[in-house]
Amino acid sequence: MERQILHVDVNNAFLSWTAVDMLKKGSKIDIREIPAIIGGDETKRSGIVLAKSTKAKECGVKTAETIYMAKMKCPNIKIFPSNYKIYKEYSDKLYNLLLKYTDKIERFSIDECFLDMTNYLMNDTLLNKAKEINKRVKNELGFTVNVGVANNKLLAKMASDFTKPNRVHTLFKEEIPYKMWNLPISELFMLGKKTVPKLYNMQIKTIGDLAKADLKILNKKFGKHGILMWEYANGIDNSEVKYKFEKPKGIGNSITLPQNISNIEKLEEILLILTEQVTYRLRKNNLLAKTVNVQLRTKDFEDSSHQGKLLIATSSTKEIYQKAKELLKQFYKNESIRLIGLRVDNLTDKEEVQLSLFRNEDNEKQRKLDSTLDELKQKYGFNSITRAREMNLPQNPTKWEQ
């Protein structure tokens, strides 16, 4: 099964995060909309431009040049100090939002993440998830990201570097010839600056030139690196998303509906799909949940939620879904709904929980059913098998109807 990979890259991270933090603290000016830079102390050697706004760029200001030079080009430019504490805070906020989509996240840098979505698409498409993440980051966190969509890390990274800002780009295998091969060779991921002139001397000036070059000649001149360059130029990359497991405080997911829904049975069907993914992740991480929370957002953007505790901690899809339905009925008021979410909290390691007196033969059958379905999903993909209640739902959530 092909990997489903996203690369999320914050647009102009240091300046954007500074702007969001200032607005949050009451600033009337969005420094992203004026000539502004993030810079080191101009009285020291560290006085260089670390990030610049679009207005500053239009004045000719460049990253890594001295602040003195930037002020010469743009006398009214505003200078703001770097603040790693702020950057870490907003980087963590992004990471925690992305955790709602997958547990397999590689923090490639403070402002970049790779996401392995292979078993986390939940009856949706990779492109739809990318668009949803793009919108949620802007709406909920206040800054923008580019999202690259592909079947491996290399192509996802290349795609996220296409037109900026606030864009979603795909780069699948069949798109390589017309989306990637015409780019300058210097644009190829992980290609060192010293290598570019050497390739130019070989009349290799575009990524397409490198993709079509003689592999034996590249190997002879550059060794293993030559083979790697050729593979990258052809979109070949088998590296895995390197993630570090961090025990989550809660696991949840939500869906913004393509059409407003005011039918509780339809909402219950969607809730089942959400429960499937949330409990799949619980079991995958050997965790049990004690609290269930259901969230609704109306067409008028009014949020409401209701939570309740389970009798015992569980990862059972059936038990958590039953509780979620019960909560939905308690607080749903026949409004027209545009978003529905499910979250489980009060998580406990499975090994720490002894068998309960409430466990019976039916519970054991349900546990075995969940385990069997998880194995099939792991082997054939999350969408490979669905429960009876889901059988009448379209595979693509964008086709859900009221």
The CATH homologous superfamily of the domain defined by 181-233: 5' to 3' exonuclease, C-terminal subdomain (1.10.150.20)
Q: For residues 275 and 116, give the distance between their C-alpha atoms in angstroms, rounded to a whole number.
A: 20
Q: For residues 369 and 387, give the distance between their C-alpha atoms in angstroms, rounded to a whole number.
A: 10
The two structure tokens encoding residue 71: 């002020």
Query: What average pLDDT does this structure show over 212-220?
Result: 96
Which fold is adopted by the domain 15-84? MutS, DNA mismatch repair protein, domain I (3.40.1170)
273 and 393 Cβ atoms separated by less than 8 Å: yes
Half-sphere exposure of 354 (CA within 13 A, CB side): 1
Q: For residues 198 and 44, give the distance between their C-alpha atoms in angstroms, rounded to a whole number.
A: 36
Tell me the pLDDT tens digit for each residue of 299-354: 988 999 999 999 999 999 999 999 999 999 999 999 999 999 999 999 988 654 44
Tell me the pLDDT tens digit for each residue of 4-30: 999 999 999 999 999 999 999 999 999
What CATH number does domain 251-399 carry, 3.30.56.10, 3.30.1490.100, 3.40.50.1260, 3.40.190.120? Answer: 3.30.1490.100
Give the pairing of strands 36-39 and 78-81.
parallel
pLDDT of residue 155: 98
The two structure tokens encoding residue 83: 């603040």
Q: For residues 274 and 252, give the distance between their C-alpha atoms in angstroms, rounded to a whole number.
A: 8
292 and 342 Cβ atoms separated by less than 8 Å: yes
Q: Nearest-5° angle of CA 162, CA 167, CA 169?
A: 55
Q: Which residues contact 254 (CB under 8 A, 6 or more apart)?
A: 100, 274, 295, 339, 340, 341, 342
Res 186 pLDDT > 60: yes
pLDDT of residue 19: 97
Half-sphere exposure of 164 (CA within 13 A, CB side): 17
Beta bridge partners of 306: 294
Q: Is 112 a catalytic residue?
A: yes
User: Cα 20 vs. chain centroid, distance in angstroms?
Assistant: 20
Q: For residues 122 and 383, give the distance between their C-alpha atoms in angstroms, rounded to a whole number.
A: 6
Where in the chain are the domains? 15-84, 181-233, 251-399
- Under the banding of pLDDT at 50, 70 and 90, the label for residue 358 is very low
Q: Nearest-5° angle of CA 34, CA 38, CA 30?
A: 30
User: Cα 326 vs. chain centroid, distance in angstroms?
Assistant: 31
The model's pTM is 0.74
Which of these is catalytic: 58, 65, 106, 112? 112
359 to 191, 319, 326: CA distances (angstroms): 58, 12, 21
Tell me the pLDDT tens digit for each residue of 171-181: 999 999 999 99
The closest of 367, 272, 131, 109 to 117, measured between CA atoms, is: 131
The two structure tokens encoding residue 387: 């429960």
61 and 77 Cβ atoms separated by less than 8 Å: yes
pLDDT of residue 107: 94
Res 226 pLDDT > 90: yes
pLDDT of residue 357: 42
